Structure 1
């Protein structure tokens, strides 16, 4: 019996009690069942009686007694105890508990997916670094977290589109082009320009792609360096994120908002909402009406449109494309943007509590030999995505960048993350999967039938699985941990916290290692495989399946050998 099935059983008990007139309450849409921290409290616990006590007008323990009597009659439930003020502690029959292994193996890659966000269309924008240089280490964190979050939201049933916003309009692009042009002509970059080996690389490529460019007048060179340099830099960013395993459905150009007239149309739409006014020769949006610390300029006195005007047009464009929730993932230095973005939403007549979410990511530090690494060979004074991949690899980078909450500063130890030690979290989890895969291969070599999750062969062999044999404490612990996976995925999606998946996988790996050390799976010597061997192989395959499914949500490989 899975936690989801048990949750439905509890709901059925509530519904039955209401129909019988024993409880006068509205049947909730869902109830929570969890693994209790203390083993003596049963396999699962629910606080539904405490939640229903007040509307039912009865003491919680009396509500619990009503529900326990009905729940105890459910097939697969051995008994239901009432604890404390009215908690329901459920003990499953051994076979019902072990049945989870069959459920997982038959579900294969689908196990853990749920419909908690079904019908919700989400636009997820992340990284969106200025296209004036390689993605730095902070952007790498958003690459890992954003891509994992997209996978998790999709696993929860949401319709997700991922997006990179190319800031290709404005002063920084002109400075970028001027830096390329200066270096190509043998001059140092402007004082407020861009430096680093990558600038010369791109400048040389622009010259190579445009024969005779340096012989033209400087005013004719400028737009070529600006346009071609931007194209090459965006292509470089696209290569980097692709090699990092990140895919964007849309690469959206800020410049396109201006070229298409979308910025002007956005200003007029906001004016129609009654929030645009003119003062001191400029055009303003009255964002203070919606909690911003000051009103924001849309058009300057000289007629130049501001970045804020582009932000407003970009949000409206996302909504016009049918996105119900727009998630922005911004760096720590953008904390001040939260209020103004929410104000745009309110000024547009939308709900800032629903239609927009702004996630802020804190800084990342890299350590080597206990000393912080600050420099990149290629980019000068920043660490780039390519540096991180070179130092620790894609898997270690993605896993370590995702496994902590984004609102906390993160320090990555290069020496630890490249070591084959249990203290290295990605090694610890991947090694568990490799151990499971190796044991499965050994079983095949011994001629023992091994179920392979998600296959027709597994379904055909399911009748030979005896779940009631999975009766030891370590087997029960492992089954309980496996049963948590769908709720962990749902919570990670609802709270936008993919780090919950990583932490869960580490707990699962530890639970599996303890099971492996205590419960012999394969026969030794002249021993014959028996029903217990088969049952434990099903449990082992269920564990491997969940580890692989979880790693896939993080964009991390599940190796069969290490």
Structure 2
């Protein structure tokens, strides 16, 4: 069970409780589950009982008990506890099955992994200044919210800079809107699109504009072009290229990614050591990061997520090589490791695509 699956499971439990008249409260549009903090109980936690206590006119602990019984009966949920004033803490059954479900979801959805329809009811209109960072940010935010099902229109105060097109930016209209619209107002970049394209090219320019939070100064130095580990953009793109190279290398050795043979889908431990856990968790959390970035209009959150995935990928790669060495034969462990490496590469490519940045197969 993935975090998204668990969120839907809890929401289904709320609907059941309302339909059965055990709970009299409006069903929320969504339910947020978060990974349990250090020292907490279970794998994930949820505050939905606290959210519903007021509308239901019941103590949060009573609401939590109503929901606990319904969630605990769902497949994939091992244990549900009530902690504190009414938090629900979930321990998932068979963690390996959850890991496999995440990898399968990445494989099936490809670059669209993490996209959803949480914002399908929203029709948004963004308005920004005639300034390159505002334009690039609005374009990235558009991609993020559209990936979550929203419909969007973007306008600019004045006619677009012709060089914006070379940065992949499109604007639907220009001029002062008749009614106030949501503004995209990051700190100005202090440069024009033409200057940035000449110095950095489109990919590095977009990363430099989007990586800092909107209230922070954009870092647009030549370091963005350095091909070394100190450059986060290079590290992210190199991790993607390395993941793709592993797939090509495995094909030359005659094997592909997959689960261990003779192991039923969803059963048995995955053949990883502890270095795999951070990468698995980041990939599982990726849909939640994309949704939060869309809701908060914050493409910098995606960039930071990609940096974390790249870092965890290299740690995993060095500790658990997906390709056999020397005369070693490909094993079930190699196939499982390759599946995780490929999932990481897909997440990196999909995230870069949402930022409007290319993910080369070779670096």
TM-score, normalised relative to structure 2: 0.86
Question: Secondary structure at 2:347's aligned position in 1?
Answer: helix
Q: Which residue of 1 aligns with 2:237?
A: 430
Please list every run of 5 or more consecutive structure 1 residues that lacks an aligned counterpart in the other structure: 129-138, 168-233, 255-310, 317-344, 346-351, 366-382, 452-460
**Deviations 1:103-157 (CA, angstroms, capped at 9, x unpaired):** 11101122222222224333444453xxxxxxxxxx2212321221121122122
Match of 2:350 in 1: 549
1:357 is aligned, of 176, 182, 197, to 182
Using the alignment, how far apart are the partners of 2:200 and 2:49 within structure 1? 50
1:500 corresponds, among 297, 301, 309, to 301
Q: CA deviation at 1:57?
A: 4.7
Using the alignment, how far apart are the partners of 2:293 and 2:360 within structure 1? Answer: 24
Between the aligned partners of 1:467 and 1:438, the Cα distance in structure 2 is: 29
Q: Contact (CA 8 Å) 2:134, 2:185: kept in 1 or not?
A: no
Structure 1 SS opposite 2:79: strand
Q: Equivalent of 2:108, from 99, 106, 109?
A: 106
Q: How far apart are residue 101 of structure 1 and its match?
A: 0.6
Q: Is the 8 A contact 1:13 1:71 kept in 2?
A: yes
User: SS of the counterpart of 2:183?
Assistant: strand
1:23-422 matched pairs, under 5 angstroms:
23-38=23-38, 41-92=41-92, 93-94=94-95, 95-128=97-130, 139-164=131-156, 166=158, 237-238=161-162, 240-250=163-173, 252=174, 311=176, 315-316=177-178, 345=179, 356-364=181-189, 383-414=191-222, 416-422=223-229
Q: Aligned pair count?
A: 358
User: Do 2:119 and 2:150's aligned partners in 1 also have CA atoms closer than 8 Å?
Assistant: yes
SS in 1 for 2:185: strand
For residues 422 and 36 of structure 1, what CA distance do their matches in structure 2 show?
31
Instruction: Give the 3-state SS of the residue equivalent to 1:34 in structure 2.
Output: strand
Residues 234-257 of structure 1 deviation map (CA, whole Å, 9 limit, x = unaligned): 8xx42x22222223345x5x6xxx
Separation of aligned partners in 1, 2:123 and 2:70: 39
Displacement of 1:32 after TM fit? 0.6
Distance in 2 (alpha carbons) for counterparts of 1:161 and 1:248: 8
Match of 1:223 in 2: none
CA contact (8 A) 2:127 2:183 kept: no
How many Å apart are 1:75 and its aligned residue? Answer: 1.0
Whole-Å separation in 1 of the counterparts to 2:280 and 2:197: 36
Residues 1:58 and 1:474: Cα distance change in structure 2 (over 3 Å)? farther
Change (3 A) 1:105 1:468: farther
CA RMSD, Structure 1 to Structure 2 (Å): 2.9
CA distance in 1, matches of 2:224, 2:251: 33
CA deviation vs aligned residue, 1:279-306 (integer Å, no higher than 9, x gap) = xxxxxxxxxxxxxxxxxxxxxxxxxxxx
TM-score by length of 1: 0.58
Give the drift of 1:34. Answer: 1.3
In the TM superposition, what whole-angstrom CA distance separates every residue of 1:146-190 from its partner, at most 9, and x where no partner exists?
A: 2211211221222233445545xxxxxxxxxxxxxxxxxxxxxxx
The answer (yes or no) to whether the contact 1:50–1:60 under 8 Å persists in 2 is yes
Q: 1:116 to 1:466 in 2, by over 3 A?
A: closer
Work out which of the residue numbers 478, 483, 490 in structure 1 matches 2:291.
490
**8 Å Cα contact 1:548/1:558 also seen in 2:** yes
CA, structure 1 residues 526+89, in 2 after alignment: closer, same or farther (shift >3 Å)? farther
Indicate the larger mover: 105-114 or 522-531.
522-531
Cα shift readout 1:16-59 (whole Å, capped 9, x = no counterpart): 34455554433333211112232764332111222233444554
Tell me, yes or no, if the aligned pair for 2:247 and 2:256 is still in contact at 8 Å.
no
CA distance in 1 between counterparts of 2:267 and 2:315 reads 20
* Structure with greater Cα Rg: 1
Q: 1:437 offset after TM fit, Å? A: 1.3
Answering whether residue 322 of structure 2 is matched by residue 521 of structure 1, we say yes
CA contact (8 A) 1:99 1:467 kept: no
